[in-house]
Amino acid sequence: MRENQEFRPRILLVSVGMYGQKYLFEATDHDVGGDVVGIVDVADNLEKTFPVISERRIPVYRSLESFFARDRADLAVISSPIHLHTPMVLECLKRGANVLCEKPLCLTEEETLKLADAAKEAHRFLALGWQLNYDRGVLALKKDILSGRFGKPLRLRCVHAMRRGRKYYERSNWAGRITLDGREVFDSPFMNACAHNFQLMTFLLGDTMETAADILKAEGELSRGNPDVENYDIAALRFTARGDVPLLYYTAHPLQTKNLGQMGRAEFEHATLTWGKGQPFLVHTEDDQEIDYGTDGNTPLMQKLYDAVKCTVEGTAPLCGPVAGLAHLRAVRMAQALPVRDIDPAHATYLEEAGDRFVCVSGLEEAFLAASEAWALPGEMGIAL
Ligand SMILES: NC(=O)c1ccc[n+]([C@@H]2O[C@H](COP(=O)([O-])OP(=O)(O)OC[C@H]3O[C@@H](n4cnc5c(N)ncnc54)[C@H](O)[C@@H]3O)[C@@H](O)[C@H]2O)c1
Protein backbone atom coordinates (compact mmCIF):
# COMPACT_ATOMS: atom_id res chain seq x y z
CA MET A 1 0.00 0.00 0.00
CA ARG A 2 1.40 3.38 -0.96
CA GLU A 3 1.73 5.87 1.90
CA ASN A 4 0.44 8.86 -0.01
CA GLN A 5 -3.36 8.78 0.20
CA GLU A 6 -3.49 11.71 -2.24
CA PHE A 7 -1.90 9.70 -5.04
CA ARG A 8 -4.15 10.17 -8.08
CA PRO A 9 -3.19 7.84 -10.91
CA ARG A 10 -2.49 9.37 -14.30
CA ILE A 11 -4.88 7.61 -16.67
CA LEU A 12 -4.24 7.10 -20.37
CA LEU A 13 -7.27 6.19 -22.49
CA VAL A 14 -6.27 4.11 -25.48
CA SER A 15 -9.08 4.35 -28.06
CA VAL A 16 -12.36 6.10 -27.43
CA GLY A 17 -14.56 4.40 -30.03
CA MET A 18 -18.02 2.96 -29.48
CA TYR A 19 -17.05 1.52 -26.11
CA GLY A 20 -13.92 3.44 -25.11
CA GLN A 21 -15.93 6.66 -24.95
CA LYS A 22 -17.73 5.26 -21.90
CA TYR A 23 -14.43 5.43 -20.01
CA LEU A 24 -13.90 9.00 -21.24
CA PHE A 25 -17.34 10.06 -20.00
CA GLU A 26 -17.04 8.20 -16.71
CA ALA A 27 -13.63 9.70 -15.97
CA THR A 28 -14.64 13.24 -16.94
CA ASP A 29 -18.22 13.28 -15.53
CA HIS A 30 -17.23 11.70 -12.20
CA ASP A 31 -14.29 11.58 -9.86
CA VAL A 32 -12.93 8.12 -10.54
CA GLY A 33 -9.94 8.71 -8.26
CA GLY A 34 -7.52 9.48 -11.09
CA ASP A 35 -7.11 11.93 -13.95
CA VAL A 36 -7.13 11.43 -17.71
CA VAL A 37 -3.78 12.75 -18.92
CA GLY A 38 -4.00 11.64 -22.53
CA ILE A 39 -5.94 9.84 -25.23
CA VAL A 40 -4.45 7.70 -27.96
CA ASP A 41 -6.66 7.19 -31.00
CA VAL A 42 -6.23 7.39 -34.77
CA ALA A 43 -9.72 8.85 -35.40
CA ASP A 44 -9.82 12.38 -36.80
CA ASN A 45 -11.55 15.32 -35.11
CA LEU A 46 -11.95 13.66 -31.75
CA GLU A 47 -12.09 17.07 -30.06
CA LYS A 48 -15.15 17.89 -32.17
CA THR A 49 -16.82 14.56 -31.40
CA PHE A 50 -16.11 14.89 -27.69
CA PRO A 51 -15.96 18.60 -26.66
CA VAL A 52 -14.89 17.54 -23.17
CA ILE A 53 -11.43 16.77 -24.61
CA SER A 54 -10.81 20.46 -25.38
CA GLU A 55 -12.66 21.66 -22.27
CA ARG A 56 -10.32 19.60 -20.07
CA ARG A 57 -7.32 20.21 -22.32
CA ILE A 58 -6.68 16.48 -22.66
CA PRO A 59 -3.93 15.91 -25.24
CA VAL A 60 -4.74 13.48 -28.05
CA TYR A 61 -1.97 11.35 -29.58
CA ARG A 62 -2.10 9.14 -32.64
CA SER A 63 0.11 6.41 -31.21
CA LEU A 64 1.27 5.02 -27.89
CA GLU A 65 4.84 5.81 -28.87
CA SER A 66 4.07 9.52 -29.28
CA PHE A 67 2.31 9.60 -25.88
CA PHE A 68 5.14 7.82 -24.05
CA ALA A 69 7.75 9.97 -25.77
CA ARG A 70 6.26 12.94 -23.90
CA ASP A 71 4.45 11.68 -20.85
CA ARG A 72 3.83 8.78 -18.49
CA ALA A 73 0.76 7.00 -17.12
CA ASP A 74 0.03 4.90 -14.04
CA LEU A 75 -2.96 3.21 -15.67
CA ALA A 76 -3.72 2.60 -19.35
CA VAL A 77 -7.29 1.71 -20.27
CA ILE A 78 -7.29 -0.02 -23.65
CA SER A 79 -10.51 -0.14 -25.71
CA SER A 80 -9.01 -0.58 -29.15
CA PRO A 81 -10.11 -3.20 -31.72
CA ILE A 82 -9.34 -6.67 -30.35
CA HIS A 83 -6.63 -7.54 -32.86
CA LEU A 84 -4.59 -4.53 -31.63
CA HIS A 85 -4.73 -5.39 -27.92
CA THR A 86 -1.60 -7.52 -27.63
CA PRO A 87 1.05 -5.05 -28.86
CA MET A 88 -0.67 -2.21 -27.02
CA VAL A 89 -0.80 -4.09 -23.71
CA LEU A 90 2.89 -5.01 -24.05
CA GLU A 91 3.88 -1.43 -24.83
CA CYS A 92 1.93 0.02 -21.87
CA LEU A 93 3.38 -2.56 -19.46
CA LYS A 94 6.87 -1.88 -20.80
CA ARG A 95 6.34 1.81 -20.12
CA GLY A 96 5.40 1.12 -16.52
CA ALA A 97 1.62 1.47 -16.69
CA ASN A 98 -0.89 -0.90 -15.13
CA VAL A 99 -3.40 -1.99 -17.75
CA LEU A 100 -7.15 -2.40 -17.84
CA CYS A 101 -7.83 -3.94 -21.26
CA GLU A 102 -11.27 -4.41 -22.73
CA LYS A 103 -12.45 -7.95 -23.35
CA PRO A 104 -11.60 -10.20 -25.06
CA LEU A 105 -7.90 -9.73 -24.27
CA CYS A 106 -6.64 -11.48 -27.42
CA LEU A 107 -7.35 -14.44 -29.63
CA THR A 108 -4.88 -17.13 -28.61
CA GLU A 109 -3.98 -18.91 -25.42
CA GLU A 110 -0.26 -18.36 -26.13
CA GLU A 111 -0.76 -14.60 -26.28
CA THR A 112 -2.84 -14.66 -23.10
CA LEU A 113 -0.05 -16.41 -21.20
CA LYS A 114 2.58 -14.18 -22.76
CA LEU A 115 0.67 -11.07 -21.65
CA ALA A 116 0.16 -12.50 -18.16
CA ASP A 117 3.93 -13.14 -17.91
CA ALA A 118 4.72 -9.65 -19.21
CA ALA A 119 2.56 -8.12 -16.47
CA LYS A 120 4.29 -10.23 -13.81
CA GLU A 121 7.73 -9.25 -15.07
CA ALA A 122 6.77 -5.58 -15.18
CA HIS A 123 5.29 -5.77 -11.64
CA ARG A 124 2.12 -4.22 -12.98
CA PHE A 125 -1.40 -5.62 -13.19
CA LEU A 126 -3.23 -6.59 -16.34
CA ALA A 127 -6.97 -6.50 -15.68
CA LEU A 128 -9.74 -7.30 -18.15
CA GLY A 129 -12.98 -5.45 -18.75
CA TRP A 130 -15.43 -8.33 -18.14
CA GLN A 131 -17.75 -6.11 -16.08
CA LEU A 132 -19.80 -8.94 -14.57
CA ASN A 133 -16.61 -10.15 -12.86
CA TYR A 134 -16.60 -6.88 -10.90
CA ASP A 135 -20.26 -7.16 -9.93
CA ARG A 136 -20.46 -7.47 -6.15
CA GLY A 137 -23.50 -9.78 -6.29
CA VAL A 138 -21.81 -12.08 -8.82
CA LEU A 139 -18.69 -12.22 -6.63
CA ALA A 140 -20.77 -13.17 -3.57
CA LEU A 141 -22.58 -15.79 -5.64
CA LYS A 142 -19.30 -17.28 -6.90
CA LYS A 143 -17.97 -17.47 -3.33
CA ASP A 144 -21.06 -19.47 -2.35
CA ILE A 145 -20.70 -21.77 -5.36
CA LEU A 146 -17.01 -22.32 -4.53
CA SER A 147 -17.87 -23.11 -0.91
CA GLY A 148 -19.94 -26.06 -2.15
CA ARG A 149 -23.15 -24.60 -0.73
CA PHE A 150 -25.19 -25.57 -3.82
CA GLY A 151 -23.41 -28.81 -4.69
CA LYS A 152 -21.89 -29.69 -8.04
CA PRO A 153 -22.99 -27.84 -11.19
CA LEU A 154 -25.16 -29.99 -13.46
CA ARG A 155 -26.02 -27.80 -16.46
CA LEU A 156 -26.19 -24.13 -17.45
CA ARG A 157 -27.86 -22.19 -20.23
CA CYS A 158 -28.35 -18.62 -21.33
CA VAL A 159 -30.06 -16.75 -24.15
CA HIS A 160 -28.62 -13.35 -24.93
CA ALA A 161 -29.07 -11.71 -28.32
CA MET A 162 -28.97 -8.06 -29.36
CA ARG A 163 -30.17 -6.60 -32.64
CA ARG A 164 -27.32 -4.99 -34.58
CA GLY A 165 -27.64 -3.43 -38.01
CA ARG A 166 -25.87 -1.46 -40.68
CA LYS A 167 -24.55 1.29 -38.37
CA TYR A 168 -22.95 -1.24 -36.05
CA TYR A 169 -21.18 -3.06 -38.85
CA GLU A 170 -20.19 0.12 -40.68
CA ARG A 171 -18.68 1.82 -37.62
CA SER A 172 -15.31 0.13 -38.10
CA ASN A 173 -13.37 -2.10 -40.48
CA TRP A 174 -13.16 -5.10 -38.13
CA ALA A 175 -16.89 -5.49 -37.32
CA GLY A 176 -18.19 -8.90 -38.33
CA ARG A 177 -14.85 -9.91 -39.83
CA ILE A 178 -13.13 -13.29 -39.51
CA THR A 179 -9.71 -11.83 -40.37
CA LEU A 180 -8.39 -8.40 -41.19
CA ASP A 181 -5.07 -7.69 -42.92
CA GLY A 182 -4.13 -11.31 -42.32
CA ARG A 183 -4.83 -11.12 -38.56
CA GLU A 184 -7.50 -13.17 -36.82
CA VAL A 185 -10.45 -11.09 -35.64
CA PHE A 186 -13.32 -13.62 -35.26
CA ASP A 187 -15.84 -10.85 -34.53
CA SER A 188 -19.31 -12.27 -33.83
CA PRO A 189 -22.05 -11.85 -31.24
CA PHE A 190 -20.54 -14.79 -29.34
CA MET A 191 -17.02 -13.45 -29.42
CA ASN A 192 -17.83 -9.82 -28.81
CA ALA A 193 -21.13 -8.04 -28.21
CA CYS A 194 -22.97 -10.84 -26.38
CA ALA A 195 -19.94 -12.56 -24.85
CA HIS A 196 -20.51 -11.49 -21.24
CA ASN A 197 -23.10 -14.01 -20.17
CA PHE A 198 -21.13 -16.91 -21.58
CA GLN A 199 -17.95 -15.71 -19.86
CA LEU A 200 -20.07 -15.34 -16.72
CA MET A 201 -21.14 -19.00 -16.86
CA THR A 202 -17.51 -20.13 -17.17
CA PHE A 203 -16.46 -17.68 -14.43
CA LEU A 204 -19.08 -19.01 -12.01
CA LEU A 205 -17.74 -22.54 -12.49
CA GLY A 206 -14.06 -21.60 -12.18
CA ASP A 207 -12.00 -23.33 -9.47
CA THR A 208 -10.82 -20.04 -7.94
CA MET A 209 -12.06 -16.46 -7.86
CA GLU A 210 -9.59 -15.58 -10.63
CA THR A 211 -10.23 -18.45 -13.01
CA ALA A 212 -12.98 -19.72 -15.29
CA ALA A 213 -13.93 -23.34 -15.94
CA ASP A 214 -12.15 -25.18 -18.72
CA ILE A 215 -14.08 -25.80 -21.92
CA LEU A 216 -13.41 -29.23 -23.40
CA LYS A 217 -15.80 -29.71 -26.29
CA ALA A 218 -18.11 -27.74 -28.58
CA GLU A 219 -20.99 -28.52 -30.88
CA GLY A 220 -23.46 -26.14 -32.36
CA GLU A 221 -25.36 -24.53 -35.17
CA LEU A 222 -23.92 -21.37 -36.71
CA SER A 223 -25.59 -19.29 -39.38
CA ARG A 224 -25.16 -16.06 -41.27
CA GLY A 225 -28.40 -14.10 -41.42
CA ASN A 226 -26.94 -10.81 -42.62
CA PRO A 227 -25.34 -11.48 -46.02
CA ASP A 228 -23.03 -8.45 -45.62
CA VAL A 229 -21.29 -9.98 -42.60
CA GLU A 230 -18.26 -12.20 -43.14
CA ASN A 231 -18.48 -14.24 -39.93
CA TYR A 232 -21.50 -16.01 -38.44
CA ASP A 233 -24.07 -13.79 -36.72
CA ILE A 234 -26.37 -16.46 -35.26
CA ALA A 235 -25.11 -19.12 -32.87
CA ALA A 236 -26.74 -21.89 -30.86
CA LEU A 237 -23.92 -23.62 -29.03
CA ARG A 238 -23.44 -26.46 -26.59
CA PHE A 239 -20.10 -26.68 -24.82
CA THR A 240 -18.89 -29.23 -22.33
CA ALA A 241 -17.03 -27.78 -19.38
CA ARG A 242 -14.71 -29.77 -17.12
CA GLY A 243 -16.72 -32.13 -14.92
CA ASP A 244 -18.90 -32.96 -17.94
CA VAL A 245 -21.12 -29.91 -17.41
CA PRO A 246 -23.08 -28.77 -20.48
CA LEU A 247 -23.21 -25.02 -21.15
CA LEU A 248 -25.78 -23.95 -23.73
CA TYR A 249 -25.63 -20.50 -25.25
CA TYR A 250 -27.89 -18.81 -27.79
CA THR A 251 -26.90 -15.51 -29.34
CA ALA A 252 -27.48 -13.52 -32.52
CA HIS A 253 -27.61 -10.08 -34.12
CA PRO A 254 -30.17 -10.31 -36.97
CA LEU A 255 -33.33 -10.39 -34.89
CA GLN A 256 -36.56 -8.42 -34.79
CA THR A 257 -36.38 -7.76 -31.05
CA LYS A 258 -33.90 -5.13 -29.85
CA ASN A 259 -32.76 -7.30 -26.97
CA LEU A 260 -33.55 -10.93 -26.28
CA GLY A 261 -32.52 -11.84 -22.74
CA GLN A 262 -30.31 -12.19 -21.02
CA MET A 263 -32.15 -15.21 -19.60
CA GLY A 264 -29.94 -17.60 -17.70
CA ARG A 265 -30.41 -20.76 -15.66
CA ALA A 266 -27.83 -22.85 -13.84
CA GLU A 267 -28.78 -26.10 -12.13
CA PHE A 268 -26.69 -27.45 -9.26
CA GLU A 269 -27.15 -30.63 -7.19
CA HIS A 270 -28.96 -28.74 -4.42
CA ALA A 271 -30.09 -25.44 -5.97
CA THR A 272 -31.11 -23.61 -9.12
CA LEU A 273 -29.82 -20.19 -10.11
CA THR A 274 -31.75 -17.93 -12.47
CA TRP A 275 -30.86 -14.49 -13.79
CA GLY A 276 -32.17 -12.12 -16.41
CA LYS A 277 -32.36 -8.57 -17.64
CA GLY A 278 -33.60 -6.51 -14.72
CA GLN A 279 -33.97 -9.72 -12.69
CA PRO A 280 -31.73 -10.60 -9.78
CA PHE A 281 -29.25 -13.45 -9.64
CA LEU A 282 -31.62 -15.63 -7.61
CA VAL A 283 -30.83 -19.00 -6.09
CA HIS A 284 -33.62 -21.33 -5.08
CA THR A 285 -32.33 -24.13 -2.86
CA GLU A 286 -33.82 -27.62 -2.54
CA ASP A 287 -34.96 -26.78 1.01
CA ASP A 288 -36.97 -23.87 -0.39
CA GLN A 289 -34.71 -20.98 0.55
CA GLU A 290 -34.33 -18.04 -1.80
CA ILE A 291 -31.04 -16.17 -1.93
CA ASP A 292 -31.11 -12.87 -3.81
CA TYR A 293 -27.69 -11.63 -4.98
CA GLY A 294 -29.15 -8.50 -6.60
CA THR A 295 -29.34 -7.49 -10.23
CA ASP A 296 -26.32 -6.70 -12.34
CA GLY A 297 -27.51 -3.07 -12.22
CA ASN A 298 -26.64 -2.85 -8.51
CA THR A 299 -22.94 -2.54 -9.31
CA PRO A 300 -22.17 0.28 -11.75
CA LEU A 301 -21.10 -0.87 -15.22
CA MET A 302 -17.86 1.08 -14.86
CA GLN A 303 -16.96 -0.42 -11.47
CA LYS A 304 -14.00 -1.94 -13.31
CA LEU A 305 -12.50 1.52 -13.80
CA TYR A 306 -12.93 2.45 -10.13
CA ASP A 307 -11.44 -0.89 -9.06
CA ALA A 308 -8.50 -0.49 -11.44
CA VAL A 309 -7.77 3.02 -10.16
CA LYS A 310 -8.03 1.85 -6.54
CA CYS A 311 -5.69 -1.09 -7.21
CA THR A 312 -3.24 1.26 -8.91
CA VAL A 313 -3.22 3.42 -5.77
CA GLU A 314 -2.90 0.44 -3.44
CA GLY A 315 -0.40 -1.53 -5.51
CA THR A 316 -2.80 -4.49 -5.72
CA ALA A 317 -4.57 -6.08 -8.71
CA PRO A 318 -8.23 -6.53 -9.70
CA LEU A 319 -9.51 -10.11 -9.52
CA CYS A 320 -10.38 -10.14 -13.19
CA GLY A 321 -6.96 -10.83 -14.68
CA PRO A 322 -5.72 -12.27 -17.97
CA VAL A 323 -6.93 -15.84 -17.38
CA ALA A 324 -10.54 -14.82 -16.63
CA GLY A 325 -11.28 -14.91 -20.35
CA LEU A 326 -9.38 -18.08 -21.27
CA ALA A 327 -12.43 -20.34 -21.27
CA HIS A 328 -14.36 -17.90 -23.44
CA LEU A 329 -11.37 -17.67 -25.78
CA ARG A 330 -11.16 -21.46 -26.12
CA ALA A 331 -14.89 -21.58 -26.76
CA VAL A 332 -14.63 -18.84 -29.40
CA ARG A 333 -11.94 -20.78 -31.24
CA MET A 334 -13.90 -24.03 -31.02
CA ALA A 335 -17.04 -22.30 -32.32
CA GLN A 336 -15.07 -20.67 -35.10
CA ALA A 337 -14.12 -24.12 -36.39
CA LEU A 338 -17.79 -25.16 -36.83
CA PRO A 339 -19.48 -24.88 -40.23
CA VAL A 340 -21.58 -21.78 -40.99
CA ARG A 341 -24.83 -22.00 -42.96
CA ASP A 342 -26.26 -19.07 -44.91
CA ILE A 343 -29.85 -18.31 -44.03
CA ASP A 344 -32.16 -18.43 -47.04
CA PRO A 345 -32.86 -14.74 -47.89
CA ALA A 346 -36.55 -15.66 -48.12
CA HIS A 347 -36.43 -16.23 -44.33
CA ALA A 348 -35.25 -12.67 -43.63
CA THR A 349 -37.02 -9.31 -43.58
CA TYR A 350 -35.57 -5.81 -43.33
CA LEU A 351 -36.42 -3.27 -40.66
CA GLU A 352 -35.67 0.46 -40.91
CA GLU A 353 -35.48 2.35 -37.63
CA ALA A 354 -33.77 5.54 -36.46
CA GLY A 355 -31.73 5.85 -39.66
CA ASP A 356 -30.47 2.28 -39.32
CA ARG A 357 -31.32 -0.87 -41.27
CA PHE A 358 -31.58 -4.30 -39.73
CA VAL A 359 -31.78 -7.80 -41.17
CA CYS A 360 -34.30 -9.84 -39.17
CA VAL A 361 -34.35 -13.62 -39.49
CA SER A 362 -37.90 -14.88 -39.17
CA GLY A 363 -38.67 -17.09 -36.20
CA LEU A 364 -35.24 -16.66 -34.60
CA GLU A 365 -36.49 -15.53 -31.21
CA GLU A 366 -39.03 -18.35 -31.01
CA ALA A 367 -36.41 -20.91 -32.07
CA PHE A 368 -33.97 -19.79 -29.36
CA LEU A 369 -36.62 -19.72 -26.65
CA ALA A 370 -38.00 -23.16 -27.51
CA ALA A 371 -34.54 -24.73 -27.83
CA SER A 372 -33.21 -23.25 -24.59
CA GLU A 373 -36.31 -24.36 -22.70
CA ALA A 374 -35.57 -27.92 -23.93
CA TRP A 375 -31.77 -27.63 -23.32
CA ALA A 376 -31.36 -28.40 -27.02
CA LEU A 377 -30.05 -26.93 -30.25
CA PRO A 378 -32.81 -25.77 -32.62
CA GLY A 379 -31.87 -28.36 -35.28
CA GLU A 380 -32.20 -31.17 -32.72
CA MET A 381 -35.83 -30.13 -32.27
CA GLY A 382 -36.46 -30.02 -36.00
CA ILE A 383 -36.52 -26.20 -35.99
CA ALA A 384 -34.99 -24.81 -39.18
CA LEU A 385 -34.28 -21.11 -39.50
N1 LIG B 1 -17.28 -4.44 -21.97
C2 LIG B 1 -18.23 -4.25 -22.86
O3 LIG B 1 -19.42 -4.34 -22.57
C4 LIG B 1 -17.85 -3.92 -24.27
C5 LIG B 1 -18.84 -3.50 -25.17
C6 LIG B 1 -18.44 -3.20 -26.47
C7 LIG B 1 -17.12 -3.34 -26.85
N8 LIG B 1 -16.20 -3.78 -25.95
C9 LIG B 1 -14.80 -3.99 -26.34
O10 LIG B 1 -14.17 -2.73 -26.53
C11 LIG B 1 -13.16 -2.85 -27.53
C12 LIG B 1 -13.42 -1.82 -28.62
O13 LIG B 1 -14.66 -2.10 -29.23
P14 LIG B 1 -15.50 -0.95 -29.95
O15 LIG B 1 -16.78 -1.59 -30.32
O16 LIG B 1 -15.49 0.27 -29.11
O17 LIG B 1 -14.61 -0.71 -31.26
P18 LIG B 1 -14.74 0.50 -32.29
O19 LIG B 1 -14.25 -0.04 -33.58
O20 LIG B 1 -16.07 1.15 -32.19
O21 LIG B 1 -13.68 1.56 -31.71
C22 LIG B 1 -12.30 1.32 -31.78
C23 LIG B 1 -11.55 2.62 -31.58
O24 LIG B 1 -10.16 2.31 -31.72
C25 LIG B 1 -9.57 3.31 -32.53
N26 LIG B 1 -8.37 2.77 -33.17
C27 LIG B 1 -8.28 2.02 -34.30
N28 LIG B 1 -7.00 1.78 -34.58
C29 LIG B 1 -6.27 2.35 -33.59
C30 LIG B 1 -4.88 2.45 -33.34
N31 LIG B 1 -3.98 1.88 -34.15
N32 LIG B 1 -4.47 3.14 -32.25
C33 LIG B 1 -5.37 3.72 -31.43
N34 LIG B 1 -6.70 3.67 -31.62
C35 LIG B 1 -7.14 2.99 -32.69
C36 LIG B 1 -10.65 3.72 -33.50
O37 LIG B 1 -10.39 4.99 -34.06
C38 LIG B 1 -11.88 3.71 -32.59
O39 LIG B 1 -12.01 4.95 -31.93
C40 LIG B 1 -13.21 -4.31 -28.00
O41 LIG B 1 -12.28 -5.05 -27.27
C42 LIG B 1 -14.63 -4.71 -27.66
O43 LIG B 1 -14.80 -6.10 -27.49
C44 LIG B 1 -16.54 -4.05 -24.68
Per-residue pLDDT in tens (0 to 9) along the chain, 385 residues:
455 568 999 999 999 999 999 999 999 999 999 999 999 999 999 999 999 999 999 999 999 999 999 999 999 999 999 999 999 999 999 999 999 999 999 999 999 999 999 999 999 999 999 999 999 999 999 999 999 999 999 999 999 999 999 999 999 999 999 999 999 999 999 999 999 999 999 999 999 999 999 999 999 999 999 999 999 999 999 999 999 999 999 999 999 999 999 999 999 999 999 999 999 999 999 999 999 999 988 899 999 999 999 999 999 999 999 999 999 999 999 999 999 999 999 999 999 999 999 999 999 999 999 999 999 999 999 999 8
Q: In this structure, are 142 and 124 located in the same domain?
A: no
Q: In this structure, are 139 and 241 located in the same domain?
A: yes
DSSP one-letter string for 292-341: E---TTSS-TTHHHHHHHHHHHHT---S--GGGGHHHHHHHHHHHTS-EE
Task: Tell me if 66 CB under 6 Å of ligand 1.
Answer: no
Task: Give the relative orientation of helices 326-336 and 196-204 as an angle to the nearest 10 degrees.
Answer: 120
Distance from the alpha carbon of residue 186 to the mean position of ligand 1, in angstroms: 14
Give the number of domains in the chain: 2
Q: How far apart are CA 275 and CA 264, in angstroms?
A: 5
Is 310 part of a structural domain of the chain?
Answer: no
Is 271 part of a structural domain of the chain?
Answer: yes
Question: Which residue, 110, 128, 146, sits at the end of a domain?
Answer: 128
Q: In this structure, are 204 and 283 located in the same domain?
A: yes
Question: Which residue, 104, 128, 152, sits at the end of a domain?
Answer: 128
For atom 32 of ligand 1, which residue has the closest CA? 41
Q: Which of 26, 41, 48, 60 has most ligand 1 atoms within 8 Å of CB, for mutation?
A: 41
Its pTM stands at: 0.96
Q: In this structure, are 40 and 110 located in the same domain?
A: yes
Q: In this structure, are 108 and 191 located in the same domain?
A: no
- 211 and 133 Cβ atoms separated by less than 8 Å: no
Question: Which residue, 128, 155, 174, sits at the end of a domain?
Answer: 128
Q: Which of 12, 14, 15 has most ligand 1 atoms within 8 Å of CB, for mutation?
A: 15
Percent of the chain topping pLDDT 90: 97
Q: In this structure, are 374 and 232 located in the same domain?
A: yes
CATH code of 189's domain: 3.30.360.10
Q: How far apart are CA 128 and CA 318, in angstroms?
A: 9
Q: In this structure, are 84 and 156 located in the same domain?
A: no
Task: Tell me if 49 CB under 6 Å of ligand 1.
Answer: no
What is the residue range of 55's domain? 10-128
Atom of ligand 1 nearest to the CA of 192: 43
